[in-house]
Amino acid sequence: MLELRPNCEWCDKDLPADSEEACICTYECTFCQDCVESVLHNVCPNCGGGFSPRPIRPHIEHRPGVSLQSQPASTKRVHSPYTLQEIEEFRQLVLSRKKLNK
């Protein structure tokens, strides 16, 4: 089950469980669409993977025990430990490695 983190790890924008702006990588690192596009350029600063839209957990319980009521989103805010310069250097490294492996 996804953790559904409540904020963008870069700009700290609120990303509630039903936000269509939330993007995650395979490790659930969570960023808003704006930061994924304009700051990260679709490269996760933690793992180097790309991003996908985060699924939305239903508010309404369609099956017993399966909804936000039964399994709420996380309230723990997460923030990136990296500077903008470190993110850009890492992104360039990831992109150069991808080119070598083609």
pLDDT (0 to 100) of residue 68:
95
Q: What is the pLDDT of residue 26?
A: 97
Both structure tokens of 32: 């808003």
The pLDDT confidence band at residue 101, using thresholds 50, 70 and 90, is: confident
Q: Is residue 99's pLDDT more than 90? A: no
- Residue-wise pLDDT for 36-59, tens only, equals 999 999 999 999 999 999 999 999
Q: Are strands 22-24 and 30-32 parallel, antiparallel or unpaired?
A: antiparallel
**Does the pLDDT at position 29 exceed 80?**
yes
Taking alpha carbons only, the member of 61, 29, 55 closest to residue 42 is 29
Domain limits of the chain? 22-101
